[in-house]
Structure 1
Amino acid sequence: MENSVPKKSWFSRNWPWAVPLGGCLTLIVVLVILFGAMIFGVSKVFTGTVPYQEGVEMAKQDEYLQKVLGEPIEADGMMSGEISTSNGSGIVDISIPIKGPDGEATIYITGTKENDKWTYSKVDAVIKETNESVDLLWGEGEKIKENTFN
């Protein structure tokens, strides 16, 4: 008669390392998903602000940028900077990357909010390829000026 010992399953043989590793991997995946959701949520909050929307709209309507970047002009990546509001007042100092079919630029917006109304001291688009600064607040005669950001 043959002595046959039943063979243990893979899990029975490997549980001492599989359980901790599986738990750690699960925790890492959950943390990555939560972090991604948080970044996405914060990004959505900023892109919904009036200065962001007005800055992108000014760039889309600017004839010189349309010529240089091509159409359509759209936001390209994450905004950086600071927007702070409280009780109808606030400050904004942000940069927004934009692109068109023919090039890229960054919009720089600085301003204040008083009585729920934004007033901008600067809305410039700096064209990446040429380093030109296009003033989006003033008339055609004053559009292009030296870049002071770099």
Structure 2
Amino acid sequence: MEIQTAKKSWFSRNWPWVVPVGGCLTIIVIFFVFLGSVIFGVSKAFTNSGPYKDALAKTQEDDYIVEMLGEPIETNGIMNGSLKFENDEGSVDISIPIKGPEGEARVYIVGTKKDDTWTYSELYVILDETNEQVDLLWGKENNEN
């Protein structure tokens, strides 16, 4: 007479390595989801800010920059710098990479916020191809000095 023994399931044979590996993978996935949401949140805070919108609008309205980069002009990558505001006061010191069909550049913004109004001490574009600085606060006539 032949004795049959019950065969263990796959999980009961492999649980000593499946549980730790599965747990580690779960923690890694949760970490990357958290990291992505933090990066997305910070990026959204920058793009919804007044200085970001003001700088992009002035850049897209400047005839010389449009001539050099072409249209449409849009952002091109991750901004860097600092943007701080609380209640009616704040400060900004950021740079935004931009691009058009004919070239790339970077917009630099330095300013302060007081009484819910942003005032910029510096707002300019540096064109990548020529390394030329175009001042958006004072207009093209002051860029030729």
Q: Same fold (TM over 0.5)?
A: yes
Measured after TM superposition, the shift of residue 144 of structure 1 is 5.0
Deviations 1:44-79 (A, max 9, x none): 011111001100111111111111111100111221
Indicate the residue corresponding to 2:39 in structure 1: 39
SS of match in other structure, 1:113: strand
Give me the TM-score of the superposition, normalised by structure 1.
0.90
Q: AA paired with 2:105?
A: A
2: distance between equivalents of 1:28 and 1:126?
40
2: distance between equivalents of 1:110 and 1:144?
21
Q: AA paired with 1:80?
A: N
How many residues are matched? Answer: 145
2: distance between equivalents of 1:144 and 1:29?
53
2: distance between equivalents of 1:99 and 1:144?
23
Amino-acid identity (%): 54
Measured after TM superposition, the shift of residue 132 of structure 1 is 1.0
Q: Kindly report which structure 2 residues correspond to 1:1-150, keeping only aligned pairs within 5 A, or say none.
A: 1-143=1-143
Question: Contact 2:134–2:140 (CA<8 Å) still a contact in 1?
Answer: no
Q: What residue ranges of structure 1 are gaps of 5+ in the alignment?
A: 146-150
Question: Contact 2:88–2:114 (CA<8 Å) still a contact in 1?
Answer: yes
Give me the TM-score of the superposition, normalised by structure 2.
0.93
Q: What residue ranges of structure 2 are gaps of 5+ in the alignment?
A: none
Output the aligned Cα RMSD.
Answer: 1.4
Please, which moves more after superposition, 77-86 or 41-50?
77-86
Question: Contact 1:72–1:100 (CA<8 Å) still a contact in 2?
Answer: yes
Q: AA paired with 1:76?
A: N
Runs (4+) of structure 1 moved beyond 3 Å?
none
